[in-house]
A and B are shown apart, each in its own frame.
Chain A
Amino acid sequence: MLLAIALAGIASHRNLIIILLGVELAFVASTILLVYGIAGLNSDPSQGFIAILSVWTVASVEIISLIAVYVYMKSRGMPLDVSKLSRMKW
C-alpha cells in the first residue's frame, strides 16, 4: 500500500522535492517488508539487519543530497519543476 502511494505520488507530481519524498516513502515500505521478513518468516536476523542498514544508509544519503541540491537550486533561482529542468543550461 505504501509502495503504491509512493509510486502514485512520483508519477503524478512535478515538484522535485515531492518526487524524492516519494522515493523516500518507497524506502520506508521496503524497510517494513524487510522487518516483516525478519520477524515473521523466522529467517536469519543478522542478514536482514544488514539489509535494513543498507536501505537506511541509501535513504539517508538521498535526503542529504536532496537538501544540498534544493538549497543550490533555490539560491540560483532555478525552478523545481522537473518538466522544466531539461531546458536549463549549465
Chain B
Amino acid sequence: MIGEILFVLASLITICAAAAIFLSRRVIHSIIAVTFAFAGSAALFAYMNQVMLALLQLFIFVGGLSTYLMVAVASEDSSMPLGVSRFVFILIVAGIGLSVILLGNAATPQASYATQTQPPGASLPAYYSLIFAMVALLFSGVLGSVLIIKRFVRLVV
C-alpha cells in the first residue's frame, strides 16, 4: 500500500516537473524543474528495486549535472522570455497522450519485483574497461567545454 502510494507520488512529481520544464517562463525555473524530474526518476528506479541505479542517477544528474546547469545559467542573464505558446504545447501533449491511450500501449509497472535473482552490480567487474571508457568520454567533454569557455570568455575566478 505504502509502496503504491510512493510510486504514484514519484510518478506525479516526475510528470509535473517534466511539464513545468516547458511551461515556466524563465530558463532557471526550467532547470530547477528538470532537477526534480531527475530526482523523480531516481525514486522510480528505487521503487523497481534498482537502488544502485537510483543512487547513480542522484549523484550524477542531480548532484553533478543539474548543479552545473544551474550555476552556468544563473551566472548569465536569464531574463529572456521563452517565446512559447502554452496552448500549442498542451495541444501536442494531449494529442500524443490520447493517441497512445487509443492504441492501447499504456503500460503500467508491476507492484513488486521480488523475483530479482541478481543484484544490479553483480556483473560489474566484467565491464570495468567499458566503464572507464565512458568516464573518459565524460571528462573529455568537460575538458572540451572548459577549453571553449576559456578560449572565448574571460574567466573570473
Contacts and interface: CB of A to CB of B under 8 A. Distances in A.
Interface of A: 1-2, 4-9, 11-15, 17-18, 21-22, 24-25, 28, 31-32, 35-36, 38-40, 42, 45-46, 49-50, 52-54, 56-57, 59-61, 63-72, 74-76, 80-81
A17 B65 contact: no
B69 A32 contact: no
Interface residues of B, number: 71
A64 B115 contact: no
B149 to A, nearest CB: 5
A37 to B, nearest CB: 10
A53 B134 contact: yes
B96 A64 contact: no
B46 to A, nearest CB: 10
A50 B127 contact: yes
Interface of B: 14-15, 18-19, 21-22, 27, 30-31, 34, 37-38, 41, 44-45, 48-50, 53, 56-57, 60-61, 64-65, 68-69, 72-73, 76-77, 80, 82-85, 88-89, 92-93, 96-97, 100, 109-110, 113, 115-118, 120-124, 126-127, 130-131, 134, 137-138, 141-142, 144-146, 148-149, 152-153
Contacts of A28: 37-38, 41
B153 to A, nearest CB: 5
9 contacts: A5-B22, A8-B89, A9-B21, A15-B80, A15-B82, A15-B84, A59-B61, A67-B72, A72-B149
Contacts, number: 180
A58 B76 CA distance: 25
Nearest to A48: B120
A40 B110 contact: yes
B21 A68 contact: no
Nearest to B20: A5
A18 B85 contact: no
